[in-house]
Structure 1
Amino acid sequence: MPKLVKVYLQQIAIGFGLSAVFTAILLYMNVGNLGHLVFNSSDGLLGLFLIFFFNGLVFAGVQFAIRIMRMGYDDDDDDDDDRGTSIRSFDPVPVRVSAQDGRR
């Protein structure tokens, strides 16, 4: 399996794990009377699943984006050969430019 697919599946698992924790905290803290609504409604479990699923999609996307953006900072994957070399600089040299009078 390609490395990118493994990273993607790992970040999906982390995102949905975070979503499960987030949903459990929402129910435990009864934010917006959500716990009462979920457990006392006939469609409460569907709503609970949708909250979990859509938060999982968001958290997984954010996890994957953060992981991809941080890939350039890993020291073991450094393919950059220009480290340690100094930036070349030059000393500007003034050049004399003659100006002609534009009046006749």
Structure 2
Amino acid sequence: MQFMEEELREQVSKLEGWKLEQDTLVRKYMFNEYMKGIAFVDEVAAISEAFEHHPHITVDYKTVFLRLSAAEEEGLTALDIRQAHEFNEAFEKNR
């Protein structure tokens, strides 16, 4: 189920570090070591497989960018919000 814009903004405000750019959720994660970022990407991949929903991932040395969008749903859904929370939990474990 797609969120209405006001509801989506409220949900995103509860997601630490995430912001809304048009119809996409984005977050930049910074690590103090390159391999910690790569370990995080591995965990993001596992979470994504479990959700059967995959983010766009960009690795720039010790920075990992994630972008979540739901083109097939024509907008962001509760699935995207839950997945973003899980990515944040994975980040806390891999810092």
Q: Same fold (TM over 0.5)?
A: no
TM-score (norm 1): 0.31
TM-score (norm 2): 0.33
Higher CA-based Rg: 1
Where is the helix percentage greater, Structure 1 or Structure 2?
A: 1
